[in-house]
Amino acid sequence: MTDHHDATLARAQEEIERLSRELEETNRGVLALYAELDERAMYLERVSNLKTRFLSDLSHELRTPLNSVLNVSRLLLDGYEGPLTERQQHAIRLIQRSTGSLLELVSDWLDLAKIEAGKVDVRPSDFTIDELFGALRGVFRPLATSDAVALIFEPASELPPLHTDETKVAQILRNFISNALKFTEHGEVRVAAATRPRDTIIVTVADTGIGIAPGDQERIFDEFTQVETPRQHRVTGTGLGLPLSRRLARLLGGDVLLRSTPGVRSTFILHLPRRLPTPPSAGEPISPAMEGVGPRAAAAHRTEPTTPPL
Ligand SMILES: Nc1ncnc2c1ncn2[C@@H]1O[C@H](COP(=O)(O)OP(=O)(O)OP(=O)(O)O)[C@@H](O)[C@H]1O
Ligand SMILES: [Mg+2]
């Protein structure tokens, strides 16, 4: 009876030892795996930093000569080197336009790289929606030449003033409005603002243009993504405006949403906390404030590609 007992005990003991050896091996394997993952993560971070540095250095270097080209073109057109023939003027205007687009691309690029690196300054100030709309009206007045499309800013004098980065809000809305004008042949582009619960302001840019198919509505917020349509070939652009706008909005604690019916209309909606949330301590990534943005915004956040947990 005791013998049998001892034998069972010994077998159990052996089994335990075997299991603990196995466990130890597994542990060692897991540790090795962790070390490898750490190494990979470090490598990826280095690559990502290098990419950002490269992009921002490149953009900086490109901006200076492009600005010179623009300045010299302007001098020539102003007649500083003597009168120009029609054809010469035409040629210089072409140079000016192409250089302008290139400069815009480079600036957007630099902005994206800076946001990615967490190196953008957010400069809040106090301003009203009406002031903002006034400035935008001024920017677009010389451009909105078509009689078929009206650009309308709705009065917003009853809205409370904002305390956030006006330049960035204007940049986001400029992107929306120039898109709306590009993709609308008849009708109107209407810019309006309203308050939402929890001290949130929304600004909408609604057009009566070609619209965006449901399958493309999230995609167009990816860099360099444009929708293949006949109209696309007749307009300029590189596909950086929307991704940049969304990142800027998130930097200000807000977000960008889109509602569209293909062939009928598109409405781009900027959600913003009326007052810029207190900035996180230096070095920390800025996370978008989800409060007061509504479930649709939360859904938009969820569709953002996230790094899978390793
Ligand atoms: N209001 C709109 N109506 C229809 N399609 C739109 C509208 N706004 C954007 N799009 C689609 O989304 C694409 C991406 O827009 P985005 O502003 O990012 O780039 P872009 O206007 O092509 O170029 P960029 O803004 O860099 O000059 C557009 O090319 C177009 O296909
Ligand atoms: Mg655009």
pLDDT higher than threshold 80 for residue 85: yes
Can you give the pLDDT at residue 232? 76
Cα dihedral 160, 161, 164, 169, rounded to 10, equals 90
Residue 309 lies in a domain: no
Can you give the pLDDT at residue 24? 93
Task: Choose which residue among 101, 179, 223, 229 to substitute to test ligand 1 binding: the one with the highest number of ligand atoms within 8 A of its C-beta.
Answer: 179
Residues 6+ apart with CB under 8 A from 110: 55, 56, 59, 60, 63
Neighbours of ion ligand 2 (CB under 5 A): 179, 241
The lowest-confidence range among 12-16, 27-31, 59-63, 283-287 is 283-287
Mean local confidence (pLDDT), 2-7: 82
Compute the distance between CA of residue 200 and CA of residue 291 in angstroms, rounded to an integer.
9
Q: Does one domain contain both 63 and 83?
A: yes
Compute the distance between CA of residue 36 and CA of residue 75 in angstroms, rounded to an integer.
59
Q: Does one domain contain both 58 and 4?
A: yes
Among 215, 195, 213, residue whose Cα is nearest residue 204: 195
Strand extents, DSSP E, the chain = 125-127, 149-153, 162-164, 187-196, 200-207, 255-261, 265-273
Q: Does one domain contain both 180 and 72?
A: no
Whether 82 contacts 129, CB under 8 Å: no
Q: Is 103 helix (H, G, I), strand (E, B) or coil?
A: helix
Q: What is the largest CA-CA distance in the chain?
A: 119
Q: Does one domain contain both 177 and 109?
A: no
Q: Total structural domains in the chain?
A: 2
Can you give the pLDDT at residue 1? 55
Q: Of 119, 148, 174, which residue sits at a domain end?
A: 119
Residue 177 lies in a domain: yes
Where in the sequence is the domain holding 136, given as residue range(s)? 125-303
List pLDDT tens digits, range 31-49: 999 999 999 999 988 888 8
Compute the distance between CA of residue 239 and CA of residue 220 in angstroms, rounded to an integer.
8
pLDDT tier at 144, thresholds 50, 70, 90:
low
Can you give the pLDDT at residue 47? 87
CB of 292 within 6 A of ligand 1: the answer is: no
Backbone phi and psi for residue 153, each to the nearest 5 degrees, phi listed first: -105, 120
Residue 150, burial from CB neighbour count under 10 angstroms (0-12, 13-18, 19+): middle
Q: Does one domain contain both 143 and 201?
A: yes
Q: How many residues does the chain have?
A: 310
| C-beta neighbour count of 37 within 10 angstroms | 11
Compute the distance between CA of residue 270 and CA of residue 54 in angstroms, rounded to an integer.
31
Residue 105 lies in a domain: yes
Q: Does one domain contain both 157 and 229?
A: yes
CB of 257 within 6 A of ligand 1: the answer is: no
Q: Does one domain contain both 90 and 135?
A: no
Q: Does one domain contain both 92 and 234?
A: no
The model's pTM: 0.71
List pLDDT tens digits, range 210-244: 999 999 999 999 988 888 887 777 777 778 999 99
